[in-house]
Amino acid sequence: MEEKKVHVRAPVSDTFRRKSPFGQLFEHMSKVRECINTLHKGLTKYYKGNYNSFSNVASQVSQLEHEADLIKSNIRNHLPKTIFMPVDKGKFLWALREQDKILDHAENLAKMLNMRHTKIPKELQVDFIKHVDLVVKTVQKMENAVENIKDLIETSFVKREREQTKEYIYEVHAFEREADIKKYEITKGIYKLEKKLDPMDTYHLLKIIDWVDDIADHAENVADWLRSMIAK
Amino acid sequence: MDTTLLLIIGGSSAIAFYMAWSIGSNDVANSMSTAVGAKAITFKQAVLIAGILNFVGAVFVGSHVTDTVRKGIVDVTGIDSHVLLLGFVASLLAAAIWVTLSTWKEMPISTTHSIIGALMGFGLIAGGTSAVIWNKIGSVVASWVLSPISGCILAFIIFKIIVKLIFSKEKPVKSAKIVGPVIIGFTAFLIVSSLFLKTSLSKNINISDIECLMIAGSISIIVGIIGIILLRKIDDTKTEDYMTVEGIFRKLQIITSCYVAFAHGANDVANAIGPVASIIPLAQGMDIGGTVEVPAGLLALGGLGIAVGCMTWGRRVMRTVGGRITSLTNTRGFSVDFGAATTVLIASKLGLPISTSHTVVGAVIGVGLARGLEAIDLSIIKKIIISWLLTLPVAAGTSIAIFLLLSVIF
């Protein structure tokens, strides 16, 4: 019942003063940041075999995802045809959509891991942690790129800031690529161990690595939409 | 003085005060909404400053513009003085009602157009189509197009200049310290020349246009040098310190806002007291043709009305221009103010009909087109434009209705 309260509409006078769509995009992004940080810490513990507080992490992630969802729908609902923006509105919404998918995948991952605690084989533990580090770095670079939009707008899209954003976007791609390479390495490692492992464990390990990697993929998509949003 | 005369003067002064109040509540947005929207000053500070400056402007410079309203719209020669008296009262009331309605709906309209429309309605009913001076009405129509477009173009250019000279530079704050004094100087030039170039003030103290420009030029240079000294201390080593740049423009914006408020008081007090200034000699049985000295008490009454209007209902329209169309930062707000003030200055010197309300809205769009704003709400702009177009016919219609009603009673 508690959660329903959030859906209560703002007073009419407040809806007149629409928050700026970019301001809300940053707000949404800060939810992503918080969520990924929580997940990062929780996942590292999980990989090390410490499952104590993971159900806590899962519910935190789920709560953040819900809060971000509200922001997302608020942006979508209040962006009618009559709003004139300095960037393509369609691309803006695609970036938002992909940013939201990061949270969807994070929530899915946390929930799935919470359902079945799978022990990571000793041989792969370091690689698993390295992989999640790379994924988190990808998201962080994406956050930098999104944040830089603030400066882009302030300066009315001058070259220097455009280059700065592009720089962050390149870094997103670089980290995503590294994360991908790591993922295949780990997958290979899992197949090598398949004789030793319980089949259900194998399945779940393969799934985990996929789920974590999905987050980086969507961070990359956000970066791509930003790139196309700021293109001349 | 007999009682009828006293009643007429008292009644019309009350209506004039009401009109002045409605003008204040609607037009304070022209000067202050960008400053409040950009959070350069709080709302309370804004209405206080605007109230005082409007009052000062009205009382000291306001006396010279009453002739248009008295004789510029309706050809009064063929009309009976009793009819004329009722007509002016009806027009004043009709205009005030429309402005009040717009303020209630939070729409920034031109109060000048409102009074012109009301007088036109009365002229039509009292003297037929030939009694209305249609050139003036044509100029109102021209203003619908001219004001927003010129405001839009100027604000666009000014914002682009700020981007080009400050934001796109390697060290924006350092560039702002160089460009800032120049802009401060230009602002000073603009303010001084609009105060003294071909105004009643320059007539009073007897200076020619060239002298005026020279004075404005030298004052602007002095102010510019003061600007250099004031900006010298700012730290300019950081590359992406946009807040400091905004801070410099924040102060400039307050000055331009104050200036617009002062100029507004000077120009628009006539809309409220102009008709009354005609009513009083009419009631005394004099002819309207001669020039009448506007009594200082009447000016003060108008000024006070505008000031009270700013302070009581000023928030409504301010919210529309400063927040609902878009949210502004200081550099954007300055571009809008500077663009609007320049447009009004140039246009009034060229004799073009310009409305400040229309210009400010156009200027906001101009900055938006320069990719300077996060989002503009076009649906509100559409509503505003509709309210502009409605001003003339609605004010005219109301004026006719009130006039007919008064004719039945008296």
Domain boundaries, chain B: 3-170+239-409, 171-238
Region A135-157: mean pLDDT is: 94
pLDDT at A7: 43
Specify the pLDDT at position A67: 95
Give the model's confidence band at A4: pLDDT under 50 very low, under 70 low, under 90 confident, else very high.
Answer: very low
Please judge whether B170 and A160 are an interchain contact, meaning their C-beta atoms are less than 8 angstroms apart.
yes
List CB contacts (< 8 A) between A80 and chain B. 379
How far does A143 lie from chain B, in Å, by closest CA? 18
DSSP B129: G
Given a cut of 80, is residue B353 above it in pLDDT?
no
Does the beta carbon of A151 lie under 8 angstroms from any beta carbon of chain B? yes
Under 8 Å between Cβ of B403 and B90: yes
A78 touches chain B (CB under 8 A): no
ipTM of the complex: 0.81
Considering only the beta carbons, identify the residue of B167, B240, B319 that sits closest to A156.
B167
CA B394, CA B97: separation in Å to the nearest integer?
10
Mean pLDDT of A98-105: 97
Write the residue in B163, B167, B374 that is nearest to A21 by C-beta.
Answer: B374
Closest residue in A to B371 (Cα) is A86
- B-chain residues near A93 (CB < 8 A): none
Contact residues, chain B, for A17 at CB < 8 Å: 319, 323-324
Name which of A83, A85, A158 is nearest B167 (Cβ-Cβ): A158
Under the banding of pLDDT at 50, 70 and 90, the label for residue A5 is very low
Option in A17, A23, A155 nearest B163 (CB): A155
Residue B45 token pair: 């500070």
State the CATH class of domain A2-230: mainly alpha
Which of B252, B290, B229 is closest to B71 using CA atoms?
Answer: B290
Residue B195 CB neighbour total at 10 angstroms: 19
CB B125 within 8 A of CB B404: yes
Instruction: Give me the residue from A16, A20, A82 closest to B374, CB to CB.
Output: A20
The 10s digit of each residue's pLDDT in A185-201 is 999 999 999 999 999 99
- CB contact (8 A) between residue B374 and residue A86: yes
Residue of A nearest to B156 (CA): A156
Q: Do B324 and A16 touch (CB under 8 A)?
A: yes
Work out the pLDDT band at B211, boundaries 50, 70, 90. Answer: confident
- Contact status of A15 with chain B (Cβ, < 8 Å): no
Residue A57: pLDDT band with limits 50, 70, 90: very high
Instruction: Please list the residues that pair with B376 across neighbouring strands.
Output: A84
pLDDT at B269 over 90: no
Rounded Cα distance, B352 and B371, in Å: 29
pLDDT over 90 percentage in chain A: 81
Rounded Cα–Cα distance for residues B333 and B34 (Å): 5
Query: Which neighbouring-strand residues pair with A83?
Result: B377
- Percentage of chain B beyond pLDDT 70 is 93
Check whether B91 has a pLDDT greater than 80: yes
Beta-carbon separation of A22 and B373 below 8 A:
no
Residue A91 above 90 pLDDT? yes
User: Does the beta carbon of A77 lie under 8 angstroms from any beta carbon of chain B?
Assistant: no
Work out the average pLDDT over A161-180.
Answer: 96
A205 residue type, one letter: L
Q: Could you tell me what percent of chain B has a pLDDT over 90?
A: 30
Residue-wise burial string across B380-403, b where 16 or more C-beta atoms lie within 10 A, e elsewhere: bbebbeebbebbbebbbebbbebb
Distances (CA, A) of A102 to A93, A142, A226, B15, B115: 14, 11, 15, 63, 58
pLDDT of residue B289: 54
Task: Using the structure block, give the residue that is written with the tokens 């001076």.
Answer: B133
Query: What local confidence, expressed as pLDDT, does residue A8 receive?
Result: 41
**Among partner residues B168, B323, B375, which is closest to A83 by beta-carbon distance?**
B375
Quick one: which of B143, B95, B165, B82 has its CA closest to B359?
B143
Mean pLDDT of A88-103: 95
What is the Cα–Cα distance from A16 to B317, expressed in whole angstroms?
13
CA–chain centroid gap for B252, Å, is 19
Q: Give pLDDT tens digits for B298-328.
A: 888 988 999 999 989 988 898 888 888 888 8
Query: How close does chain A come to B282, measured CA to CA in Å?
Result: 47
**Is-contact B112 B147, C-beta < 8 A?**
no
**Average pLDDT over chain B, rounded to an integer:** 86
Q: Which residue of B has its CA nearest to A163?
A: B168
Distance CA A157, CA A22 (A): 14
B373 pLDDT tier (thresholds 50, 70, 90): confident
At residue B325, what are phi and psi to the nearest 5 degrees?
A: -70, -50
pTM for this predicted structure? 0.86
Q: Do A151 and B240 touch (CB under 8 A)?
A: yes
Measured between CB atoms, does A18 come within 8 Å of chain B? yes
pLDDT confidence of residue B64? 61
- Please judge whether A17 and B378 are an interchain contact, meaning their C-beta atoms are less than 8 angstroms apart: no
Instruction: Select from A20, A81, A156 the residue whose CB has the most chain B CBs within 10 Å, as the one to mutate to test that interface.
Output: A156
Buried b or exposed e, range A140-166, using 16+ CB within 10 angstroms:
bbbbbbbbbbbbbbbbbbbebbbebbb
Check B372 against A156: CB less than 8 A apart.
yes
Q: Do A85 and B375 touch (CB under 8 A)?
A: yes
Q: Which residue has the higher pLDDT, B62 or A150?
A: A150
**Residues on chain A touching B172 (C-beta within 8 angstroms):** 155
Set of chain A residues whose Cβ sits within 8 Å of the Cβ of B327: 20
Given an 8 Å threshold on Cβ–Cβ distance, is A83 in contact with B376? yes
Q: Give the chain A residue whose CA is nearest to the CA of B241.
A: A151
* B371 → closest Cβ in A83, A151, A157: A157
pLDDT in tens, A11-38: 333 433 457 889 999 999 999 999 999 9
A159 — alpha (psi -120 to 50), left (phi > 0) or beta?
Answer: alpha
Please write the tens of the pLDDT for every residue from B5-15: 888 888 888 99
pLDDT confidence of residue B54: 87
pLDDT one-digit tens code per residue, B25-58:
999 888 888 899 888 999 889 989 998 988 888 8
**Separation of alpha carbons A130 and A110, rounded Å:** 18
| Contact at CB, A82 and B373, closer than 8 angstroms | no
Tokens of B306: 């505008």
Closest partner residue to B375 among A21, A151, A154, by Cβ? Answer: A21
Residues B13 and B291: their CA atoms lie apart, in Å, by 20
